[in-house]
Structure 1
Amino acid sequence: MQNDFWGSILFSISVTLPTLFLLILGIFLRKRNVIDDRFSQQATGIVFKITLPALLFLNVFQNPIKHLNEQLMMIWVCVFGTLLLFLLAEIFAEKFVADKRERGTFVQGVYRGNCSILICTPKVGLNNQLIKVQIFYD
């Protein structure tokens, strides 16, 4: 169990550390006036409109079709669960979030992913009760 825990921690660090380094590099380049807001907007547009969709397409294209058949039920549950959660969050936000500008932030926060659970849980093997506590307090 001890080796599994430290292996999970090292795996989590290896996943999150590159993002942290890029964030620090961006702050450094911004302070040196190498990049500005215009660059950030253009880079964000390239990433989210071109490279990320291309990466997703390639990952789906390279995945054998037999895996799709095995996971079809899970895909439908995820799609309908996300849509249902989105609609319920919109209804809740309509009634309880007074500032209309904050509703989108609230709704996005309701169904955003929590990467720490996805990264650590399979490696550590936490029981269901600990996962519920982690989700509640995260």
Structure 2
Amino acid sequence: MESILFSLNSVMPLFLMGIAGYLLVQRGVVNENFVDQASNLCFKLLIPFSLFRKVYDAKVLDSFDFRLPLYCVLSVLTVLILAWLIWPHFVKDRARCGACIHSTFRANVVLMGIPVLTNMYGEEGALVAAMALPFVVILSNIGAVTVFTAFAPESSGARLDPRKLLLSIAKNPFIIAILLGLAAQLSGISFPPFASKSIDYLADMSTPLALLAVGGQFDPKKAAGNLRLNLTICTLRLVVIPAVVIAVAAALGFRGPELAFIFVVVGSPSAVSGAALAKVMGSDHQLTGEVTLMTSLLSAFTFFIAFTLLRSVALI
């Protein structure tokens, strides 16, 4: 029962906030224009502040062990490359293909990483997550911007300009926020209380508003048409990828909080910020948002099953 409650408490709030956004639009409390503005606000301001705070608070150099971040980065990179190579053979529409690749490789590590490890292992878990989190976040966000830029509807892979791609990555608010967070942390800058509180206010708004926007963009008719594709991505995101990555990690000797964090990296729901990023960059934000909601709901069960199995064999 404790494991069930833990899983539900970790992921169900994400799904319920999305439902709330959908109901607000359906009841006319907010309109589609508000949803668009909320997505834009999350993309340009709130999520960057959240990323900045996460990276700034993570003590990268404390008890640093390169094995965990290296394995996490290689796992995410491998999934990204395979998704990039495989999905174009099955989804010809560029915007939808970009959304499929993004939803397959990019997990909600920012929201799930430290809270889940803290709930399971206390301060030890938080330190393990903080050690690897910045590297995963940087790669995931660079990968997301790269995918959405490369698969933009108006461009073709053959004519993709590498300079334009690098410029899009360099100008992306997520990337800028992460780099500033790393610079601030490594330089030892200490913010005065009023600045820290302001950053906290903006960062804390990012997840609930992003989820409301995801739910507000949800279209049941389009979702029904995307059901098979959604289920395929969910199966890859929540079952196939975690099973392979965790099996390899266990064989390499990862145990306890390290193995639990690896599962969070590859087995969490699709990133909440994905829909906002997809909408701004011209990708299929509808499909991206649908996968976010569906993986958030189903992950309550996959987290429970995975953690129960891993605990039964004394791996975590």
The one-letter amino acid paired with 1:92 is I
Aligned residue among 3, 13, 16 for 2:8: 13
Matched, 1:83 2:77: yes
State how 1:100-119 maps to structure 2 within 5 Å. 100-101=93-94, 102-113=96-107, 114-115=267-268, 116=299, 119=303
Deviations 1:25-70 (A, max 9, x none): 2233212212111111111222233222222221222233444623
Among candidates 35, 38, 59, match of residue 33 of structure 2: 38
| Cα distance in 1 between the residues matched to 2:60 and 2:85 | 37
Between Structure 1 and Structure 2, how many residues are aligned?
121
Instruction: Measure the CA separation in 2 of the matches of 1:118 and 1:126.
Output: 15
More RCO (CA 8 Å, sep 6+): 1
3-state DSSP class of the match of 2:64?
helix
d(CA) in 1 for partners of 2:32, 2:63: 41
AA paired with 1:14?
N
Quote the Cα distance in structure 1 between the aligned partners of 2:302 and 2:59. 23
2: CA distance, partners of 1:25 / 1:76: 38
In structure 1, the partner of 2:86 is 92
Structure 1 residues 49 and 68: alpha-carbon distance in aligned structure 2, compared to 1, 3 A threshold: farther
Query: Percent identity between the aligned chains?
Result: 24
CA distance in 2, matches of 1:98, 1:24: 28
Asked if residue 48 in structure 1 is aligned to residue 66 in structure 2, the reply is: no
Q: Which runs of 5+ in 1 are unaligned?
A: 1-5, 129-138
Q: 1:23 aligns with which of 18, 21, 24?
A: 18
TM-score, structure 2 as length reference: 0.33
| Change in 2 beyond 3 A, CA 1:81/1:17 | closer
CA root-mean-square deviation: 3.0
The unaligned stretches of length 5 or more in structure 2 are: 108-266, 269-298
Q: Which has the larger radius of gyration?
A: 1
Secondary structure class of the residue paired with 1:69: coil
Residue 100 of structure 1 aligns with an amino acid whose one-letter code is D
